[in-house]
Amino acid sequence: MSKFFSKFATNIADRSGKPGTFVLAVVIVIVWAVSGPFFSYSETWQLVINTSTTIITFLMVFILQNSQNRDGKALQAKLDELILTSQAQNKFIGIEKLDEEELRKMSKALAEKAECVADVADEKAENREETA
């Protein structure tokens, strides 16, 4: 069941992101709007578009969330593989499972480290300019 839903969600997510799908949605809304005078702008006429869009939006949330979750996990797996096969520190594998406070601390430490690296790079660039 899970495999079927994943394929279904991927297919729907791919199709919903195409320009043709957007054009189709715009055409449906225009047809609905143009039909207003024929139905005297009745409550039923309004209910058709409100109900339709609500149902589609409700279902699309689950489909797109499934696709996004799988994409995120695949990206994380790729990053973990790059970390494992490089000289990067293995402590970064699995950090997506840390809580918010731990992530903030790690992010702050990395920002400080990046700033030090940038300072060293600036110094080296200045030294090169002076010697040139």
Does the global pTM surpass 0.85? no
3-state DSSP helix/strand/coil percent for the chain, to nearest 5?
A: 85, 0, 15
Give the pLDDT score at 61: 95
**Where are the chain's structural domains?**
2-92, 98-132
In this structure, the number of other CB atoms found within 10 A of the CB of residue 67 comes to: 19
Q: What is the pLDDT at residue 89?
A: 75
CA dist 62 and 9 (Å) reads 8
Inter-residue contact 17 to 68 (CB < 8 Å): no
DSSP characters over 68-116: HHHHHHHHHHHHHHHHHHSSS-GGGTTGGGS-HHHHHHHHHHHHHHHHH
Sequential pLDDT tens for the chain (132 residues): 888 988 898 899 899 989 999 999 999 999 999 999 999 999 999 999 999 999 999 999 999 999 999 898 889 888 888 888 887 777 777 888 888 888 888 888 888 888 888 888 888 888 888 776
Q: What is the pLDDT of residue 46?
A: 94
Q: Which amino acid is at 58?
A: F
| Listed residue (14, 13, 52) closest to 32, CA to CA | 52
pLDDT the model gives residue 132:
67
